[in-house]
Structure 1
Amino acid sequence: MSAPLLRGPRWADVRLHRGALWAGLGLVVLAAVVMGFLRWAARAYPEPAGPCTSDGSCDTFLGFDSARTLLYEFLQKYSTGMLLIPVLIGAFVAGPVIAREMETGTHKLAWTQSQSPTRWLVSKLTVFAVLSVAGGLTLMAIFWLGRMGREGMSDLAWADRGVYESIGPALVAYCLLGVTVGALVGLLVRRTLVALAAGGLVTGLVLLGMGSVRWELFPVQTISGPASGTSTSYTMHDLPMSSLIMDLGVHNAAGERFVAGQCSPEQKAYFSCPSDTKITGWYADIHPHSHFWYVQLIETGIVLALTAAVAYAAFRVLRRRTA
């Protein structure tokens, strides 16, 4: 982060926020070190440390049954923490990067130093976009390193919130969105603390909203089969491994879907059930693992389009402020 690597206003932006950037770099290095240690420990101590003795005491690895268990727990917490990256980026850009300069008036000094308002904003967006993408990709690579192979239990549920974002390009798109949302909020609010909170909140709401609808972006695959056994039992042995089940139930001869247990004679009065509840087969609407990249690419495209729209809005707001 020295002068030869960056020049002009970009170097000034990095210099001004070097404390926060060094802290972020330190967290990335710490995450890499911890993940590397746990990977080594999971390979060296994959099984429970030892049997329990008669007095009830058990040998453990740092309080866990084995190093593999500890790695698995860490990976779950790590993936959940990855969701905070775009939120923190949005909060940081909105507050300390944009709103603080607007609040203190230092942006006016920059605009009198042969730097137009548009160039001022472009400089900040490019610097923090590059840093955010680089940081996000590095943290994703660390997560991939931790989950690879048997030691990392690569069967972590790929569709879970956090894991899904940590293993695909959508997280990078959300990082870029955090930068542009932060810039727009900072220009609108122009109060550091308020902008910091609003930037993180807006970015988090977008993350939450997209996470709620992402599995509606691509058609589900329907698996079905004939009923077997009693009228309320059915088999689903044909479901692909590691599938995300969106809907599950049975159907009658007319193809009407319902849940067998809810339409049993003792429960039928409390639920909306077809007149003919005789089960002829079962069905499951699923997203197999092969849908992962389709959904990732569609979601990434949507978020990048939203990012471009927010960036355009930020420049429009800036022009109005300086008109």
Structure 2
Amino acid sequence: MMWLTWRQMRAQTLWTGALVAAAAAYLLYLAADIRDTHRLTITDCTTACADARHAFAEEFGPGLLLIGLLLIAGPALIGAFWGAPLITRELEAGTHRLVWNQSVTRKRWLAVKLAVVGGVSVLFTGALSLLLTWAAGPFDNLVDSRFEPLTFAARDLAPFGYALLAFTLGLSVGVLTRKTLVAMAVTLLVFTGFQLAMANLVRPHLAEPVSTTVTWTEARAIGSIDSFGVGPEGARIQNYVLTGAWVLDDEIIVYKGDGTEVTEADLKACGLGIEPDECLTALEATFTVNYQPADRYWTFQWIEFGIAAGLSAVLIGVAFWRLPRGLN
């Protein structure tokens, strides 16, 4: 069975392996470039270091984001093009009967395919994930945005779980539908929906968020304000960044020391020539930010990997339950 499975999958495995090797070679080159640039512009920086950090982030950020996006899409493609046709292709061609008539049980047939093909797909995805994590290390340490959706799902343990889940999803959908194209389409749609739901609905609530009140005088010392505006509805902070943490609020209301909202009239009352920061400090302005602390990163990685692995176990059980029933 091992030999037969390899014979059936060797072409796509070799092609995929070649693509993975090319991606690995590029990541090695990128890692060297990131480290050299980091050493020259950040480690050895003596003047205008803030500008150097910004330039470093601008230089490598878009490329790493694109690579991360491709790595996130990889499991979906593996599930659709490896997992879904794994059983349906043989069922549609009728070649499964030849194996079953040679004293190979259906469950053993499925187990070998699952172990060999599924193992290779997880290995490929995981290897690229670990290599990307290592290559982007200096950038991630500087920018400190590991909770960003496209960063979190492309680093460390999460891609292992996603690759396993996508493959088992394609496999189980194929066993249930017995139609290759249908199984591929369903796998892509369901797995993409799962990724979006996990990033936007589940991950922010894997643990109870921490809520803290920040005074205006310390706001820029412990984080950064992307934008601040005042209008008829009051003062608002857009996209506050708390160093190392995952801020869950897109918009934050700013209050005066007496607990009422800061208004446009309050800023005008400070007089002309007074900077907004000085005025807000004088008003004893504060705001409340809800966030996931930086030290929960690995906890979230393990939880997300566990969720994917648990769902994969359920899908494998469905495939093993369905295979002996009615697939003749």
Show the 5 A alignment for 1:1-323: 9-43=1-35, 71-149=60-138, 154-155=142-143, 157-213=145-201, 214-225=203-214, 240-247=242-249, 248-250=252-254, 281-322=286-327
* Deviation digits for residues 291-322 of structure 1 (CA, Å, limit 9, x no counterpart): 21122222222222111111111112113225
Q: CA deviation at 1:137?
A: 1.8
Q: Deviations over 1:104-163 (max 9, x none)?
A: 11111111111111111111111122112211221012202321226x775262112221
1:17 aligned counterpart, secondary structure: helix
Closer, same or farther: CA 315–281 of 1 in aligned 2, 3 Å: same
Q: Distance in 1 between matches of 2:327 and 2:61?
A: 52
- Structure 1 regions of 5+ residues with no counterpart? 1-8, 49-65, 265-277
Deviations 1:54-108 (A, max 9, x none): xxxxxxxxxxxx9985543321111111111210121023443111111111111
C-alpha distance in 2 between matches for 1:225 and 1:202 = 41
Q: How many residues align?
A: 280
The CA distance in 1 between the partners of 2:198 and 2:236, in whole Å, is 34
Shift of 1:280: 7.3
Is residue 35–residue 138 contact of structure 2 (8 Å, CA) maintained in 1?
no
Give the TM-score normalised by the residue count of structure 2: 0.73
Quote the Cα distance in structure 2 between the aligned partners of 1:174 and 1:322.
28
SS across alignment from 2:121: helix
Residues of 1 paired with 2:294 and 2:78: CA distance?
A: 30
Secondary structure of 2:290 counterpart: strand
Deviations 1:147-195 (A, max 9, x none): 1226x77526211222101223122111111121111111122222222
- SS of match in other structure, 1:24: helix
- The whole-number CA distance in structure 2 between the counterparts of 1:71 and 1:27 is 22
**Taking structure 1 as reference, are residues 30 and 246 closer, same or farther at Cα in structure 2, changes over 3 Å only?**
same
Whole-angstrom distance in 2 between the partners of 1:304 and 1:281: 43
Shifted more, 81-90 versus 197-206: the winner is 197-206
Provide the residue aligned with 1:271 in structure 2.
Answer: none
* Structure 1 residues 221 and 239, CA gap change in structure 2 (3 angstroms): farther
Gap runs ≥5 in structure 2: 42-54, 218-229, 267-282
Whole-angstrom CA distance in 2 between matches of 1:163 and 1:85: 14
- Aligned-residue sequence identity (percent) comes to 27
